[in-house]
Amino acid sequence: MSNILIIKHGSLGDVVQASGAINDIIINHKEDDIYLLTSTPFLNLFKKNSKIKEVILDKRLSKFNLIYLYMLMRKLKKIGISRVYDLQNSSRTTFYKKILFPNAKKEIWSSSLTTLPSDQNKEEFDRMPVLKRFDHQLKTSGLKTKHTLNPNFDWACEEINEIKNSYNLGNYILLFPFCSPHLVNKKWPFYNELIKMIKDKFGNKYKILVAPGPNEIKDAKSIDAICILNKDKALNISELSSLIKNSSYVISNDTGPAHMAAHLGVKGMTLFGSHTSAYKVSIERDNFKAIQVNDLKKLSAAKVFERLKEILI
């Protein structure tokens, strides 16, 4: 029996994407103990996975905080890790490698760098769809992959009957009109126009919901939809997963909840501008599609509604 470390810090969308790869690592190491290093927002989420022996918090403090860095490295060394799967593939985790396993190759430290194809540089490799990159990394590290290309985020769900009953939820369309303040180019501006079209066409058949994050509750007041909270607080990731899973349809900007919807198997669409492509982030699934345009401000509510109507009628 060996001790295996998986590293995945975030963001939410990245964690959802990596869930298939994490599952494959666990399956390939079913006789070993699995440890997972993550950041604060995902600590409790990963603790739901009973096949992970311990979830370790990385506060991701400055690399110049030598006391913190020493304590974290000491903890990892004390575990006696024999192999690392770096699914974060960041400058921070590359720095950790230099401390823990400075000369290790893919047999000890699996990352996009140690498994880089011989005919590609890192910049070229990073243009590939994210799930294909994970799949290449694990296969090159000697693992059999079954779930990496098809993540299933159902494991994150938890029972939310109390929330559903408090809002009397039956059939509902769930919208995610928000984005990080520094990523306003991801924000589609016509959600209220779309909501009016939905209500005019379907009447009371569907409730229209938003489920804002902790920093989005104030912004949710500008959207003509029911704001879903749990005792005046934003839903946690597991509660949000269940709300998405039980929805009739999801429409979202390119945010974490869009990736959740894609890999929970629900019907829906995500709206992409020129910031990246749906292909690169591997978001399109059988039930979940993308509308890709150069400028989200030029994507009309009527066009989005026509796509929605094709599914719901």
Residue 112 pLDDT: 96
For residue 284, what pLDDT band results from cuts at 50, 70 and 90? very high
What would the mean pLDDT of 271-291 be, rounded to a whole number? 93
> pLDDT at residue 176 above 90?
yes
Residue 223 pLDDT: 98
Write the class of the CATH domain 3-148.
alpha beta
Write down the residue that tokens 């079913």 correspond to.
Answer: 30
> pLDDT at residue 196 above 90?
yes
> pLDDT at residue 313 above 80?
no
Alpha-carbon distance of 212 to 218, in angstroms, equals 9
> pLDDT at residue 27 above 90?
yes
Residue 268 pLDDT: 97
What would the mean pLDDT of 34-62 be, rounded to a whole number? 97
What would the mean pLDDT of 308-313 be, rounded to a whole number? 88
DSSP one-letter string for 257-307 = HHHHHHHTT--EEEEE-SSS-TTTTT---SSEEEEE-S-GGGS-HHHHHHH
Calculate the average pLDDT of the chain. 96
> pLDDT at residue 213 above 80?
yes
For residue 312, what pLDDT band results from cuts at 50, 70 and 90? confident
Q: Are 214 and 243 a contacting pair, CB within 8 Å? A: no
Q: Which of 34-48, 84-98, 116-130, 232-246 has the lowest mean pLDDT?
A: 116-130
Structure tokens at 19: 């869930």
What would the mean pLDDT of 176-189 be, rounded to a whole number? 87
Q: Are 179 and 199 a contacting pair, CB within 8 Å? A: no
> pLDDT at residue 225 above 80?
yes
Residue 289 pLDDT: 97
Structure tokens at 200: 């005019």
Pick 169-312's CATH classification: 3.40.50.2000, 1.20.1740.10, 3.40.50.2300, 3.40.1280.10: 3.40.50.2000
Residue 185 pLDDT: 83
> pLDDT at residue 181 above 80?
no
pTM of the full structure: 0.93
Residue 290 pLDDT: 97
Alpha-carbon distance of 168 to 189, in angstroms, equals 28
**Which part of the chain is CATH 3.40.50.2000?**
3-148, 169-312
What would the mean pLDDT of 276-296 be, rounded to a whole number? 94
The pLDDT tens digits for 135-145 are 999 999 999 99
